[in-house]
């Protein structure tokens, strides 16, 4: 028998926001009946681009129903930017916690929310899955990105924990070695990043005006030409506390690969050339 909190029991026995929003702005579907859990989330935005209505339909256990109900309550009133930052931990914490073996239900809620936001942005489900990288767990269709995100957000250290949070490795078990390698990679990358960020660099000694000029020069010389070849462009908006604010233009604006472009191309090059402490944010 699972040890559920009173709030989990309440949201299971009296779930909020069941059903489907009429003419939704966002639609997210994750899981499958074959895997034992499925969730469909719909939401609608008001005139101020805040989530005014959110509803769900789910097939699953008490934790899945409670997590879905909690998610809809959490995101109402949020902007999409705020909703994008909601993690599975936020859902579990809202419920007062979930049994370890049921944490995948909160992860499913987060994934449904991400899928619904992607839908609003015009990204099709198959395109979103493609951007998440290769599938590691064939039994449950769990991608490398989904495992990495679960490890980072929840500080997972074992394959068993990853299975509890994502179901990956809970089928035939052939992917367990790959999951173990991914866990090690995530922690090595985090340790390397922390070490790099603790070291002073010549860039740190510059004035803010000098920093902005160096960033602008790098964008103009090494990054903008690559984007322009594919019909895209960017604009440097500001630099504040090691965060570079950039607006994507042309074909890059609204592109399904925009997030990957920002993180894997623009930010990666800036970190390598100027300072590992710098981060890039799209506005």
Residues with catalytic annotation? 35, 105
Three-state secondary structure string covering the chain: CCCCCHHHHHHHHCCCCECCCCCCCEEEEEEEHHHCEEEEEEEEECCCCEEEEEEEEEECCHHHHHHHHHHHHHHCCCEHHHHHCCCHHHHHHHCCCCCHHHHHHHHHHHHHHHHHHHHHCCCCHHHHHHHCCCEEECCCCEEHHHHHHHHHHHCCCCHHHHHHHHCCCCCCCCCHHHHHHHHHHHHHHHHHHHHHHHCCCHHHHCCHHHHHHHHHHHHHHHHHHHHHHCCEEEEEEEEECCEEEEEEEECCCCCCCHHHHHHHHHHHHHHHHCCCCCEEEEC
| Contact in structure between 56 and 40 (CB atoms under 8 Å) | yes
| Contact in structure between 204 and 277 (CB atoms under 8 Å) | yes
């Amino acid at each position: 028998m699972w040890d559920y909190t009173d709030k989990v029991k309440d949201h299971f026995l009296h779930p909020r926001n069941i059903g489907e929003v009429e003419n939704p702005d966002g639609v997210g579907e994750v899981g499958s009946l074959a895997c034992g859990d499925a969730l469909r989330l719909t939401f609608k935005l008001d005139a101020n681009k805040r989530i005014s209505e959110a509803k769900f339909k789910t097939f699953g256990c008490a934790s899945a129903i409670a997590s879905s109900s909690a998610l809809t309550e959490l995101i109402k009133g949020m902007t999409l930017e705020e909703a994008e930052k909601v993690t599975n931990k936020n859902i579990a914490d809202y419920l007062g916690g979930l049994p370890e073996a049921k944490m995948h239900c909160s992860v499913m809620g987060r994934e449904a929310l991400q899928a619904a936001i992607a839908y609003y942005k015009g990204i099709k489900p198959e395109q979103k899955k493609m951007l998440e990288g290769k599938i590691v767990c064939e039994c449950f269709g769990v991608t490398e990105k989904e495992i990495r995100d679960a490890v980072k957000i929840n500080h997972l250290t074992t394959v068993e924990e990853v299975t509890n949070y994502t179901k990956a490795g809970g089928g035939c078990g052939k992917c367990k070695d790959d999951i173990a390698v991914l866990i090690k990679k995530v922690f090595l990358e985090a340790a390397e990043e922390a070490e790099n960020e603790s070291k002073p660099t010549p860039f740190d000694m510059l004035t803010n005006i000098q920093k902005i000029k160096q960033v602008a020069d790098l964008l103009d010389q090494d990054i903008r030409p690559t984007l322009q070849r594919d019909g895209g462009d960017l604009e440097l908006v500001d630099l504040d506390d090691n965060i570079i604010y950039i607006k994507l233009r042309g074909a890059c604006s609204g592109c399904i690969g925009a997030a990957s472009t920002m993180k894997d191309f623009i930010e990666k090059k800036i970190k390598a050339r100027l300072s590992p402490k710098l981060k890039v944010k799209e506005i």
